[in-house]
Structure 1
Amino acid sequence: MTVKVAIAQMNSVVGDLAGNAKKIIENVELAAAQGADIVVTPELSLVGYPPEDLLLRAAFYHQTEQCLNNLCSSLKQFSNIYVLVGHPLAIADEYYNAISVLLNGEIAHTYLKHSLPNDAVFDEKRYFATGKDPVVFEVKGCRFGINICEDVWSGNAPELARDAGAQVLLAPNASPFHMNKSDFRVETMRKNISSLGMSLVYANLVGGQDELIFDGNSFVLDSSGTLCARLQHCSVDLQIVEFIHGQPVPALIAPSLAVEGQIYQALVLGVRDYVVKNGFPSVLIGFSGGVDSALTLAIAVDALGASKVRAVMMPSPYTAEISWLDSREMVHRVGVRYDEISINACFSAFKQTLSSEFAGLKEDTTEENIQARIRGTILMAMSNKYGSIVLTTGNKSEMAVGYCTLYGDMAGGFAVIKDVAKTMVYRLCAYRNSLSDIIPERIITRPPSAELRPDQKDQDSLPPYDILDGIMQRYMEENQSRAEIVAAGFAEAEVERVTRLIKINEYKRRQAPVGIRITHRAFGRDWRYPITSKFRD
């Protein structure tokens, strides 16, 4: 017989139990209308992922239990449909990451996650105990097993399900995005699940949660590892896949995206969800006419619409005319509110106030940073007055080596391109312009400059960005030693310079706003180096 399995690629909100339950019901209703027998929702779909230290509060478990019971009652109307719902579960003095199978108003089965990830952005061993037993249930003669996320990545949970008779493995997931992650998931599941002779339904979460992005890209493999279905990237989706004798019938496969498309859509999703889920009415961007602020502005407009984005140009005595012209051109193209607020008077007042203190000392980065901090103060004042959140525009290359100003260009609430290397910034601008031409070409091609002193260029203070990014990626993302990086062809002096800058600027990064993670190792949750350290490798 044919069994119809619905993958509900949901965007859960952490802590919004009632709202998430409503989304589950809506997905079940849509799936039921298409004849679904099973509906699979993502990991911890009822409470959102990751709940972090909400999991240390007894009230969180109590309210989850109440909500799950209410959900059972609400789903009773959908007779004979098996609904897999993810939730935390307290049993005596132990706490588990669980999936319950709801059927006809009852909890028919509960599976407890076996493998608890405790690396990179994960710390589930802080909260949960490990399950030990498989869960397999039969629908129309086909036997379905359950694993949760890390279970299908490591450990022996898939073998236990197979040995218990599972033909199809249902795997609710909350697998966060990094570039090219979708293809990596498929290849890993072929090795771990298809090799065991089972088909796989991989139901992944979608949405932004603070710095994490969950990209969806849920998929189905048959027992030979053939891709039979794939859902949308970075979008809520629902798809029905038919199974005959445990094998999926080929269905819709969403097109794969080039890496620039993957990243850009993830950034748009991250901005939209951070702003909307946290209730901000609009966003402010300090717009300089440079490539970083241009990309940030494009992402914000695509995420929120032009009516919720405001760009503020704050020229100083060193702002080039070309920056004014390019800024005005871009805001005209995207249709956002645009204001120009000169910082000249404030800058003069600061210098006058400090003139006796700094008498006899030449101007240096102190005066450069004063300009950046005046701009940060103006943006934060506007944020306070209007309730808008400030989106910062610094990229990963700058954050790595400290080419940024505390309480200046780092001032704000959300760092959109914090994990995007400068070389990728240019690629993303080209990608966005391939969709529609909104970033003036001169913004992309002119040499980048902070414009804090006469004729300033970034490359006066930094190595060329292709060299900087190459060293940063190898040292920070891939954990290579300095000797290994030199052996790869980078000049020893440049390697020493960049790695030193990465180390000594940890104190700045600790004070930066959270930002979107798009690589497998970002500054923040992935990177936990001490500020005070004498270690040298």
Structure 2
Amino acid sequence: MKIAIAQLNPTIGDLPGNAAKILQVAQESANAGVRLLLTPELSLCGYPPRDLLLNPSFIEAMDITLQQLARDLPANLAVLVGTTSKNEQAHATGGKHLFNSIALLLDGKVEQVFHKRLLPTYDVFDEHRYFEPGLQANYFTLDDMVIGVTICEDLWNDEEFWGKRSYTVNPVADLSILGVDVIVNLSASPYTAGKQRFREEMLSHSAARFKLPIIYTNQVGGNDDLIFDGRSFALNKSGEIICRAPGFETDLIIVELDALQQDLLPSAISPHYENLDGEIWNALVLGVRDYAQKCGFSKGILGLSGGVDSALVAAIASAALGKENVLGVLMPSPYSSEHSISDALALAKNIGIKTTRLPIGDLMQDYDQTLAELFAGTEFGLAEENIQSRIRGNLLMAIANKFGYLLLSTGNKSEMAVGYCTLYGDMNGGLAVIADVPKTRVYSLCHWLNHDGEVIPSNVITKPPSAELKPGQVDQDSLPSYDILDDILQRLIHNHESPQQIVAAGHDAQIVDKVLRLVARAEFKRRQAPPGLKITDRAFGTGWRMPIASNWLAVKDVYQQQVILQK
């Protein structure tokens, strides 16, 4: 039996467009003699649809589209399509009104419907908000082959691999007891750096443990802050990879299930990325491209400061949107160094984007004069520094509004974490491209980008980072060095280490305390930031749910003192 894996890039809510993509790959599959076609989780509506699922007309339209798709599909081709289905028992049981489902389309109709059993509620996932969990093991028979059906999270509960269970049931174990011949998994698994090798290791363990071949189908593309990397793959019953689709692009790959061997035969295997920087680069480029296209933008704009962050974002934008569709705006102030201008122009020349220059010195004087009476008797400080950033933000927004550009903000994760950024200034934008990229990774990406020749000018990488909002300013006037800061942030945000643990790892206690307080104090800024592309397992996006008004730090100090006294 030939089985095709459709690695699709749906647009959320575009039911006719998504159905057309499924129909296209179905026709290609039928022409290749495929018997079963797999599509990703919720492939008909795109993942994650979020509160669109609360709209009854959306659910009704999805069902109508599904029925029409079933009628349009080629004969003799079975297709598994991700959709929703109504929970008819919801009123009686008090459960959710929908299931996250897979529909088996065959011979012009919906032949069977299978429900997702394990519903994640961590990080960016909130499926219990919308869905009722399925209670039955899912399988069907096609040409005497018994095919077990799982949906994304259903595969992520192997207690032998994890050393624990996060859910009470293991759908893979249930299917193995039922004696299925192969397990298919239809996923929409968001990208995080390095996640693919973990997926393969986990499913390899399950395939070998249960002696069952597994086919994993993943969505690809950017949807808001989430990036889906695709990289669908299949394993034989020994747990060996027998095929892998490329990352960050759509694809249709075909595998063959041999009835005699009851196993999958080897097929094409796309290689892993040689290093993490190349993988992250491709993710960010895809994220920008899809965010722009799916929101109706064809062109992007950003402020070019001559610094490393804006240089990296400009390079990403050029690759994502085309160099002819990116405008870099230089906005020097009296505090801007000459190399800031020359470095920005050198970068623009290297990547081929257009630039314009808008000096802001006169505008700064206008603000000074307007505020002179009110600010009389005070010293130059943060308010005046931020005015410069807000002037630049206003200019960028004006150009974006006038010409229909997507404004790309350029702040990195390290800055976003500690609030080293200005609301309504450099935080302005429709998309925060590197908001989940720590500063040290920004430098690493720039070095990687230069591996075949200079893209990012060397001076941009080697000079001390500076906001240049006052004479002689550098970032380390206010922050610890970025290698120290990023390690503290990694331990605090990703590893959930206590301040005591971070200090025990070798960091200065006063610096740790300062960083901790900066992170907490900057929450109100992050809440007002544009969506940022997620590339780590702990991003400041939909999965970050911290309170703004909180007194935990003060309480924590008292609590720690009590702990010390008790000891």
Output the TM-score relative to the length of structure 2.
Answer: 0.93
After TM superposition, the structure 1 = structure 2 runs for residues 73-472 of structure 1, keeping only pairs within 5 Å, are: 73-75=71-73, 78-92=74-88, 93=90, 94-154=97-157, 155-245=169-259, 246-257=262-273, 258-472=275-489
Letter in 2 for 1:375: R
Q: Distance in 1 between matches of 2:113 and 2:449?
A: 45
1:251 Cα deviation from its structure 2 partner:
1.2
The worse-fitting range, judged by mean Cα deviation, of 354-363 and 456-465 is: 354-363
1:366 Cα deviation from its structure 2 partner:
1.3
Q: Distance in 2 between matches of 1:371 and 1:338?
A: 20
Indicate yes or no: 2:529 matched with 1:512. Answer: yes
Letter in 1 for 2:144: G
Partner of 2:62 in structure 1? 64
1:379 Cα deviation from its structure 2 partner:
0.5
Letter in 2 for 1:126: R
Secondary structure of residue in 2 paired with 1:250? coil
1:451 Cα deviation from its structure 2 partner:
0.8
1:371 Cα deviation from its structure 2 partner:
0.3
Secondary structure of residue in 1 paired with 2:30? helix
1:137 Cα deviation from its structure 2 partner:
2.3
Change (3 A) 1:279 1:504: same
**Residues 212, 237 of structure 2: 8 Å contact kept:** yes
1:493 Cα deviation from its structure 2 partner:
1.3
Letter in 2 for 1:81: L
1:526 Cα deviation from its structure 2 partner:
2.0
The worse-fitting range, judged by mean Cα deviation, of 171-180 and 242-251 is: 242-251
Secondary structure of residue in 1 paired with 2:5? strand
Partner of 2:515 in structure 1? 498
Identity over aligned pairs, percent = 46
CA deviation map 1:439-470 (0-9, x unaligned)? 11111111111011111111111000000000
1:281 Cα deviation from its structure 2 partner:
2.8
Candidates 34, 37, 41, aligned match of 2:35: 37
CA deviation map 1:240-289 (0-9, x unaligned)? 01111331111111111111111111000000000000101311101111
1:160 Cα deviation from its structure 2 partner:
2.1
Q: Distance in 2 between matches of 1:68 and 1:435?
A: 48
Letter in 1 for 2:127: E
1:436 Cα deviation from its structure 2 partner:
4.7
Q: Distance in 2 between matches of 1:283 and 1:158?
A: 45
Q: Distance in 1 between matches of 2:391 and 2:547?
A: 30
**Residues 219, 227 of structure 1: 8 Å contact kept:** yes
1:230 Cα deviation from its structure 2 partner:
0.7
1:193 Cα deviation from its structure 2 partner:
4.0
**Residues 88, 97 of structure 1: 8 Å contact kept:** yes
Letter in 1 for 2:301: L
Which 4+ residue blocks in structure 1 deviate beyond 6 angstroms? none
CA deviation map 1:473-522 (0-9, x unaligned)? 11011111111111111111111111111011111111111010000000
Q: Distance in 2 between matches of 1:437 and 1:241?
A: 41
CA deviation map 1:172-230 (0-9, x unaligned)? 00000001010111111123343112110000000001000000011101111111111
1:88 Cα deviation from its structure 2 partner:
1.1
Letter in 2 for 1:152: L
CA deviation map 1:16-72 (0-9, x unaligned)? 000000000111112222221111000000000000000111111100000001100
The worse-fitting range, judged by mean Cα deviation, of 185-194 and 19-28 is: 185-194
**Residues 386, 422 of structure 2: 8 Å contact kept:** yes
1:435 Cα deviation from its structure 2 partner:
4.7
1:138 Cα deviation from its structure 2 partner:
2.7
RMSD: 1.1
1:434 Cα deviation from its structure 2 partner:
1.9
Secondary structure of residue in 2 paired with 1:354? helix
1:388 Cα deviation from its structure 2 partner:
0.9
Q: Distance in 2 between matches of 1:530 and 1:330?
A: 39
Q: Distance in 1 between matches of 2:7 and 2:467?
A: 42
The worse-fitting range, judged by mean Cα deviation, of 371-380 and 359-368 is: 359-368
**Residues 158, 193 of structure 1: 8 Å contact kept:** no
CA deviation map 1:300-338 (0-9, x unaligned)? 000010121111000000111111111111111222110
Q: Distance in 2 between matches of 1:196 and 1:178?
A: 27
Letter in 1 for 2:253: Q
Letter in 2 for 1:105: G
- Give the number of equivalent residue pairs: 533
1:140 Cα deviation from its structure 2 partner:
3.4
Secondary structure of residue in 1 paired with 2:375? coil
**Residues 83, 101 of structure 2: 8 Å contact kept:** yes
Indicate yes or no: 2:74 matched with 1:54. Answer: no
**Residues 152, 193 of structure 1: 8 Å contact kept:** no
**Residues 301, 408 of structure 2: 8 Å contact kept:** yes
Output the TM-score relative to the length of structure 1.
Answer: 0.98
For structure 1, the 5+ residue unaligned runs are none
The worse-fitting range, judged by mean Cα deviation, of 436-445 and 335-344 is: 436-445
Q: Distance in 2 between matches of 1:239 and 1:286?
A: 41
**Residues 109, 135 of structure 1: 8 Å contact kept:** no
1:112 Cα deviation from its structure 2 partner:
0.5
Q: Distance in 2 between matches of 1:5 and 1:487?
A: 53
Secondary structure of residue in 2 paired with 1:114? coil
Partner of 2:160 in structure 1? none
Q: Distance in 2 between matches of 1:142 and 1:442?
A: 62
Letter in 2 for 1:47: C
The worse-fitting range, judged by mean Cα deviation, of 251-260 and 463-472 is: 251-260
The worse-fitting range, judged by mean Cα deviation, of 145-154 and 134-143 is: 134-143
Change (3 A) 1:442 1:456: same
The worse-fitting range, judged by mean Cα deviation, of 352-361 and 20-29 is: 352-361
Partner of 2:559 in structure 1? none
Q: Distance in 2 between matches of 1:487 and 1:26?
A: 57
**Residues 404, 410 of structure 1: 8 Å contact kept:** yes
